[in-house]
Amino acid sequence: MNKDEFQNLSPLDTIQGSIGLFSLAVLMVFINWGLEALKWKFLMSRIEKVSFIKSYKAVLSGVTVSIFMPLKMGEYVGRVLHLDSGNRIKGTVLTVYGSMAQLFVTILLGSLALVYFLPKMYDISTNMHLLWYYLYIVLIIILNLFLLMALLNPSFLVSVINKTPLPKAWKKYFRVLSLYKPSDLFKEVLIISLLRYVVFSLQFYFCLMVFNVHLPLFDGLVIIAITFLFLSFLSVSALLELGFTRSAICLELVHVFYSSSYSKSTIVDADVWQASTVLWLINLAVPAMLGAIFLYGVKIFKSEK
């Protein structure tokens, strides 16, 4: 993005021009984290009764702490502080499981999006390239099926963990996963994770539209799916992300899309950057500020009831 593009930035004026669409994106913030609160409430239900409101507060507290901790580990710390001290380790295990389910949805849809997008990035007309393309399809089918079966078979996960060199004192906490039925995990965890994915993907798409990055709906969601796929492996922390990593990935994909679909791109780099940054602000920064309020007064060392 060049100097002139920076000087001409007027995000507030741009937002005012599409206030309805922007308001919808903001409203979806509450739906996004509300779905995550429902998922976390279910996961905690086997170890501690948690109301939806308490779960919502815990989820936002996790956002607050994750802003400052590497690899978003603070997400787990911030949430389990709302649990009784005796349940916090088990709660962390279950929270990690919920994050794994969300990551699976990201990998599944991102890898499928690449199936559509790769022919736009590379010429696969040669036999060798076509062979690699089909090999990729086979590999992602195997990988996603394996991940799905592992997530829906908690006993399998426990058995794998038991074979690791982790101390026995740690392994016992993972047995909590065996308390859940595969059908319940599918309905209450995977389906909700999928709904969340749809919500924040549409949020990103709406933000791009607000800032005049007009992509066809399907192609836009494909680009967003690949962006989230790469972001899930490249993001070190929520604070360092600050829209830059997301915008860099998205920009590259947008340019590839336009170079293969149109003779001239009308997309301005600054517009993608603004959309990514605004999405970061409404989806992470604002919830993190609310989470800080909910963390206030939480006892670090609460006695178990």
Rg over CA atoms, the chain: 21
- Which of the four pLDDT bands, split at 50, 70 and 90, describes residue 303? very low
Give the up-direction half-sphere exposure of residue 284: CA atoms within 13 A in the CB hemisphere.
Answer: 19
Within a domain: residue 235? yes
Structure confidence at residue 66 as a pLDDT band (50, 70, 90): confident
**Domain for residue 51, yes or no?**
yes
- Three-state SS at 255: helix
Mean pLDDT of 159-178: 87
Residue 213 lies in a domain: yes
Question: Is there a contact between 207 and 196 (Cβ–Cβ < 8 Å)?
Answer: no
Report in angstroms the alpha-carbon separations of 209 from 274, 281, 286. 11, 17, 21
| pLDDT recorded at residue 89 | 93
Q: How confident is the model at residue 32 (pLDDT cuts 50, 70, 90)?
A: very high
Q: Is residue 233 part of a domain?
A: yes
pLDDT value at position 239?
62
Rounded to 5 degrees, φ, ψ at 87 are: -105, 0
Residue 218 in domain: yes
CB burial of 38-72 (b: ≥16 within 10 Å; e: otherwise) equals bbbbbbbbebbebeeebbbbbbbbbbbbbbebeeb
Boundaries of domain holding 97: 18-295
Phi and psi torsions of 265, nearest 5° = -85, 135
For residue 9, tell me if it sits in a domain.
no
Tens of pLDDT, residue by residue over 263-281, are 345 556 778 888 888 888 8
Number of domains in the chain: 1
Q: Is residue 301 part of a domain?
A: no
Please tell me which of 30-39, 125-134, 259-268, 278-287 the model is most confident about, judged by mean pLDDT: 30-39
Kindly state the DSSP code that residue 235 receives in the 8-state scheme. -
Average pLDDT over residues 64-82: 85
Among 11-25, 91-105, 178-192, which stretch is predicted with the lowest mean pLDDT?
Answer: 11-25
158-162, 169-173, 262-266 — which is least confidently predicted?
262-266
Average pLDDT, the chain: 85
Tens of pLDDT, residue by residue over 142-151, are 999 999 999 9
Residue 242 lies in a domain: yes
Percent of the chain with pLDDT over 90: 49
Q: Helix or strand or coil: residue 126?
A: coil
Q: Which two tokens mark 69?
A: 């901790």
| pTM of structure | 0.88
